[in-house]
Amino acid sequence: MLHVGLQHFLVVGALLFSLGLLTVATRRNAIGVLMGVELILNGANVNFVAFNHYVTGGVSGQVFALFVIVLAAAEAAVGLAIVLAIFQTFRSIDVRLADTMRE
Amino acid sequence: MEHASHALGPVLVEHASYLWLVPLFPLLGALVNVLFGWRFERSGKKSLVHVVAVGAMALSFLTAAYAFVQMLHLPAERRFLQNTLWNLFSAGRVTVDLAFALDPLSMMMVLIITFIGTLIHLFSVGYMWEDEAKAYWRFFAWLNLFVFSMLLLVMGDNFVLMFFGWEGVGLCSYGLIAFYYTDREKAAAGMKAFVVNRFGDFGFLAGLFLLFWGLGGAWAASCHTGGPSYQATPGMHSLAGASDAAASLALAPRVSLREHAAPAKHGAPAGHAAPAEHAAPAEHAAPAEHAAPAEHAVPAEHGAAAEHGTAPGHATASAKGEHGVGAQVMVGPTLNFRELRDQVVIEETGIAEHLKDQRVWGVALLALVGIFLFVGAMGKSAQLPLYVWLPDAMAGPTPVSALIHAATMVTAGVYMVARLNFIFALSPSAMGWVALIGTLTAVFAASIGFFQYDIKKVLAYSTVSQLGFMFIGVGVGVYWAGAYHLLTHAFFKACLFLGSGSVILGCHHEQDMRKMGGLKKYMPITRWTYLIACWAIAGFPWAAGFYSKDEILWKAFTSEHLALFGTATPWLGPAIYIAGLLAATGTSFYMFRSYFMTFTGEYRGGQGHGHEHGEDPHASVAAPHHADPHGHHDAHPAPDPAPAHGAHGHDAHGQAHGGHGGHGHTPHESPWTITLVLVVLAAGAVLCSLLGLPAAWTGHEPLLEQWLSPALTAEVPFVHKPHALEFVFQALGVGAGAIGFVFAWVLYKDNKSKVPAALKEKFLGVWTVVYNKYYVDELYDLVVIRPSLAWSRALSWFDGHIIDWLVNFAGSVARGFAGIDGWIDKHFVDGAVNAVATLTIEGGRTLRRVQTGRIQTYLYGALAGGLAVILLNFLIP
């Protein structure tokens, strides 16, 4: 019987983080980029909770995770509003097209 | 011979806070005319110019007269008005104040300057109104400025102010001689006067420097003997007056004071000759005595104490003069006449002894000082050999000649010698030198006057000659007579000059006496005043010149104080007398010659030289009086009583009243401003005689001698001769004048005699030499001007060739270096700077590509950074 320990959680968190990062780095669709950000945040949440459970005890990790979730919701709202504004400006939500702030 | 038997006290000062007004008025007048005069003239208010100028002079005279009245009310020994305005500068222990002072001598000068100055300003109104120069305001501005400078010279309380005035009058003299500056010759005359005066000023300055160099040692010595205990004791700086001293005696009688008081009454005996020791005990005694009456003494002396508070470093010595027991005098560096006079005159200070002993290269310092100071007087007062500028100075307008070159400025030298009598009297050699030069000048200039034809030139040489007489006076030590001759000369010579001005005006700017004659018919007032002035200058009794000249010559004869180059010369006095008598004869001759040539006989003008008057400005003055249709009646200030003026040479006028054409150049009497002045001056020339009636006549000292005695304290010994002899000498003087008069009468009366022409033919050689003024100008040309021109040409060549070559060479070298430097700058320095700029630009151009604006590019960057950090974390242990 495989015992589920801290390492497993950390691997899951790291996977989530890496996939999120990959998504953010490669997606052209702004919505996809936002979703990648969600993955990164949730990877971090997994780490918070796991460390709290296995290492420190108490509830501070969980509270941190909850804050991050709230933050992610707010971030998603602001991010989607920005995406909307980008769409209205560029008639597209391709992040590569929104490059007028270069140089 | 007893010498300096009087013990003299310090000068007692009376403060008069209004003295500064005297020079202020002419200065203001000059300023107003400089700033606004041309506007007055342009806007048709030309008369404002002379209202300002004459008004300023009149106010100045009234102020001076007020001072005179105040001085009259003071006791003789307190006649010294002083007015300090502010401190000009301090250098070490020397302080120089802007301060004015009047003692009887400068009071006399100030009255002459302001009174005769006012009259001459008034005269100028008539004389200059229609002048060709069209610079009425410039004339009056200069004239007022001159009076200001002259007053500064006379009233200045110290050498600095005197020198300022000394230079100021020279400047104004230059400006007025060269008044008609468009005429090259007249402009050159102005320059000549200025340059010759510079020679004199050099001597004056050298004399002053030598004097102070000599005094410096004395002052240092006095400090040494004085010691520190002399300094800054309150009350020591006060010059206690007689009343104060009496008060202090009454309140705090001290034996020591009485001891010093006693000898003063009987004249200081020789026992008190050792000054340094003597000063010390008196000084130590003084503060103690002054302690008691200090409360009483201070208010009265407050002014004096405050004034001297600015001179901290003075040691003081107690004087035992008759003016005040316990009177004190400061010993220390000073440029103030009064303080210097106190220090030199009061024997206890030891200054005079110190000065007498000093020698420069084996020559007595005081003789050198006197000679150099007199060189200054030579320049200003036109003595041999620096007299040459004065005859040429006649190029200026006639009022200028009268005011500056007869009455005031040229007497500055005489005034200076009289002012510094206490210095000159210490050195018989200096006095002999002054008297000798004066004598030579008197004779020499008189002889040139014999054959001049220009009426103003005659008067110019006469002035030089009379100045010689004044220097005989101050040279032999009869200072008051020198000053008296200055006074009488101011009146009669101003009268003569203005009379000649009137004649020149009347004869339509003709100055040649050969073209005059018979003017007594046309110009009665001018004629009589001229005759009275001739009477005065020739030295006949009841006109002033007699008294001053005879006093001078008499004292010269009885003088035995004179020396030359350190050796006593008892023969010099009588020699001066004989030469002076000759000069007086000559004076009488040439003055009456000028009178007879001008006023008697037939009028010789107006024939055959009408063309000369083509530009005569006076024709236009004359025109309005003939009711002509040209109508410039308006601008004529002075009612011109002229009977008939010619318009000869002016075609337009000539036709308008052809009836006058026949006697077109008829002379005419001058306007009232001119004749009034002439009458006043002639009256002055007579009335001045009352001031100098000799003691042999009246039994007491002449009024002027009494008046001047507080200022002229130097004691010069004279041989006592009986009064009878004096009468004989006066008779000789009158005889000399009479001989001159008779010769002039015989030779020139009515200009009929053929003798002058015959004599001229016979002695043509002599005549030519004298007529050409002994070729002195040519001599100067040869000795001074040509060498200096050659020298300047040589210097110019040196400058143009050597100096310029050096400068150009240095320039070329510098240019070569600059070229190299420029190349380096262009290629290396500029290259480096440009390279930095290029690098920056290229770097920026490259780096800005990083900024893509795409969010994911930045993310790659962040990732790469993060990975690098992690990698580094592994790589670096």
Q: CA A49 to CA B353: how far, in whole Å?
A: 120
Residue B654, pLDDT score: 35
Q: Is B318 within 8 Å of B328 (Cβ atoms)?
A: yes
Q: Pairing between strand B94-102 and B328-331?
A: unpaired
Q: What's the rounded mean pLDDT across residues B585-592?
A: 90
CB contact under 8 A, B853 and A21: no
| Residue B521 resides in a domain | yes
| Residue B167 resides in a domain | yes
Q: Is B671 within 8 Å of B638 (Cβ atoms)?
A: yes
In this structure, the answer to whether residues B42 and B166 fall within a common structural domain is yes
Å from A2 to nearest chain B CA?
32
Q: CA B828 to CA B821: how far, in whole Å?
A: 10
User: Using a CB-CB distance cutoff of 8 angstroms, which residues of chain A are in contact with residue B860?
Assistant: 25
Question: Is residue B431 pLDDT above 70, yes or no?
Answer: yes
Q: Is B351 within 8 Å of B413 (Cβ atoms)?
A: no
Length of chain A, in residues: 103
| Residue B579 resides in a domain | yes
CB contact under 8 A, A103 and B851: yes
Q: Given B854, B860, B863, which is nearest A99 (Cβ)? A: B854
In this structure, the answer to whether residues B814 and B730 fall within a common structural domain is no
Last residue of a domain, one of B706, B735, B770: B770
User: Using a CB-CB distance cutoff of 8 angstroms, which residues of chain A are in contact with residue B855?
Assistant: 33, 95, 98
Q: Is B859 within 8 Å of A27 (Cβ atoms)?
A: no
Residue B524, pLDDT score: 85
DSSP letter (8 states) at residue B512 = B
| Residue B713 resides in a domain | yes
Question: Is residue B309 pLDDT above 90, yes or no?
Answer: no
Residue B546, pLDDT score: 86
CB contact under 8 A, A25 and B853: no
Q: Which of residues 481-520 of B touch A (CB under 8 A)?
A: none
In this structure, the answer to whether residues B751 and B798 fall within a common structural domain is no
Q: What's the rounded mean pLDDT across residues B683-698?
A: 84
Residue of chain B whose Cα is closest to the Cα of A33: B856
How many interchain CB pairs under 8 A, A with B?
A: 29
In this structure, the answer to whether residues B510 and B558 fall within a common structural domain is yes
Question: Is residue B45 pLDDT above 70, yes or no?
Answer: yes
Å from A103 to nearest chain B CA?
5
- Over residues A15-34, the pLDDT tens digits come to 999 999 999 988 889 999 99
- Burial class of residue B269 in the structure, from the number of CB atoms within 10 Å of its CB (0-12 exposed, 13-18 middle, 19+ buried): exposed
Mutation target among B845, B856, B870 for the A interface, most CBs of A within 10 A: B856
Q: Which distant-in-sequence residues (6+ apart) come within 8 Å of B14 by Cβ?
A: B70, B74, B78, B79, B80, B81, B82
Q: CA B785 to CA B778: how far, in whole Å?
A: 9
CB contact under 8 A, B854 and A103: no
| Residue B424 resides in a domain | no
Tell me the two tokens of residue B46. 């030309």
The three-class DSSP label of residue B494 is helix
Q: CA B740 to CA B590: how far, in whole Å?
A: 8
In this structure, the answer to whether residues B590 and B728 fall within a common structural domain is yes
Q: Is B859 on the interface with A (CB under 8 A)?
A: yes
Task: Out of A55-69, B323-337, B722-736, give the one with best mean pLDDT.
Answer: A55-69
User: Using a CB-CB distance cutoff of 8 angstroms, which residues of chain A are in contact with residue B847?
Assistant: none
CB contact under 8 A, B853 and A103: yes
The widest CA-to-CA distance across chain A, in whole angstroms, is: 58
Q: Which distant-in-sequence residues (6+ apart) come within 8 Å of A17 by Cβ?
A: A39, A40, A43, A44
In this structure, the answer to whether residues B21 and B140 fall within a common structural domain is yes
Question: Is residue B601 pLDDT above 50, yes or no?
Answer: yes
**Other beta carbons less than 10 A from residue B866's beta carbon:** 11
Q: CA B158 to CA B776: how far, in whole Å?
A: 36
Chain A residues with at least one Cβ partner in B under 8 Å: 21, 24-26, 33, 95-96, 98-103
In this structure, the answer to whether residues B491 and B409 fall within a common structural domain is no
The three-class DSSP label of residue B83 is strand
- Over residues B499-525, the pLDDT tens digits come to 998 888 888 778 888 888 778 888 888
Higher-scoring residue by pLDDT: B254, B116? B116
Residue B296, pLDDT score: 37
What does pLDDT average to over chain B? 77
Q: How many Å from the N-terminal Cα to the C-terminal Cα in chain B? A: 122
Q: Pairing between strand B563-564 and B567-568?
A: antiparallel
Residue B327, pLDDT score: 57
Nearest residue to B595 via CA among B492, B664, B731? B492
- With pLDDT > 90 as the criterion, what percentage of chain A qualifies? 63
- Over residues B718-733, the pLDDT tens digits come to 877 777 888 888 888 8
Question: Is residue B782 pLDDT above 90, yes or no?
Answer: no
CB contact under 8 A, A101 and B860: no
Q: Is B845 on the interface with A (CB under 8 A)?
A: no
User: Using a CB-CB distance cutoff of 8 angstroms, which residues of chain A are in contact with residue B851?
Assistant: 102-103
Which neighbouring-strand residues pair with B844? none
**Other beta carbons less than 10 A from residue B814's beta carbon:** 11
- Over residues B368-402, the pLDDT tens digits come to 899 999 999 998 988 888 888 888 888 888 888 88
Residue B635, pLDDT score: 39
Å from A32 to nearest chain B CA?
13
Question: Is residue B607 pLDDT above 80, yes or no?
Answer: no
Higher-scoring residue by pLDDT: B63, B779? B63
Tell me the two tokens of residue B735. 């005889």
| Residue B298 resides in a domain | no
In this structure, the answer to whether residues B753 and B684 fall within a common structural domain is yes
Task: Out of B86-100, B106-120, B514-528, B739-753, give the one with best mean pLDDT.
Answer: B106-120
Residue B13, pLDDT score: 82
Q: Given A24, A33, A102, which is nearest B852 (Cβ)? A: A102
Q: Is B527 within 8 Å of B519 (Cβ atoms)?
A: yes
Residue B168, pLDDT score: 92
Q: Given A95, A100, A101, which is nearest B856 (Cβ)? A: A95
Q: Given A21, A24, A100, which is nearest B853 (Cβ)? A: A100
- Burial class of residue B607 in the structure, from the number of CB atoms within 10 Å of its CB (0-12 exposed, 13-18 middle, 19+ buried): exposed
In this structure, the answer to whether residues B742 and B793 fall within a common structural domain is no
Out of A5-14, A82-91, B240-249, which region has the weakest mean confidence (pLDDT)?
B240-249
Q: Which distant-in-sequence residues (6+ apart) come within 8 Å of B355 by Cβ?
A: B214, B215, B218, B344, B365, B366, B426
Q: CA B279 to CA B332: how far, in whole Å?
A: 14
| Residue B440 resides in a domain | no
Residues of the domain holding B864: 776-871
Last residue of a domain, one of B734, B752, B770: B770
User: Using a CB-CB distance cutoff of 8 angstroms, which residues of chain A are in contact with residue B852?
Assistant: 99, 102
In this structure, the answer to whether residues B797 and B859 fall within a common structural domain is yes
Q: Is B95 within 8 Å of B306 (Cβ atoms)?
A: no
Residue B428 banded pLDDT, cuts 50, 70, 90: confident
Residue B242 banded pLDDT, cuts 50, 70, 90: very low
Last residue of a domain, one of B363, B393, B419: B419
| Residue B447 resides in a domain | no
ipTM of the complex, rounded to two decimals: 0.84
Out of B235-239, B557-561, B702-706, which region has the weakest mean confidence (pLDDT)?
B235-239
Nearest residue to B372 via CA among B217, B216, B215, B200? B200
In this structure, the answer to whether residues B146 and B50 fall within a common structural domain is yes
Residue A43, pLDDT score: 94
Residue B270 banded pLDDT, cuts 50, 70, 90: very low
> Which H helix or E strand runs over B383?
none
Q: What's the rounded mean pLDDT across residues B340-344?
A: 84
For helices B294-308 and B275-291, angle between their N-to-C axes, nearest 10 degrees = 130
Residue B818 banded pLDDT, cuts 50, 70, 90: very high
Residue B612, pLDDT score: 38
In this structure, the answer to whether residues B161 and B108 fall within a common structural domain is yes
User: Using a CB-CB distance cutoff of 8 angstroms, which residues of chain B are in contact with residue A99?
Assistant: 852-854
Q: Which distant-in-sequence residues (6+ apart) come within 8 Å of B519 by Cβ?
A: B503, B506, B507, B526, B527, B598, B599, B603, B667
Q: CA B694 to CA B698: how far, in whole Å?
A: 7
- With pLDDT > 70 as the criterion, what percentage of chain B qualifies? 80
Residue B769, pLDDT score: 78
- Count of structural domains, chain B: 3
Å from A62 to nearest chain B CA?
27
Higher-scoring residue by pLDDT: B510, B200? B200
Residue B843 banded pLDDT, cuts 50, 70, 90: very high
Out of B171-185, B234-248, B452-466, B476-490, which region has the weakest mean confidence (pLDDT)?
B234-248
Residue B6 banded pLDDT, cuts 50, 70, 90: low
**Other beta carbons less than 10 A from residue B801's beta carbon:** 10
Higher-scoring residue by pLDDT: B671, B235? B671
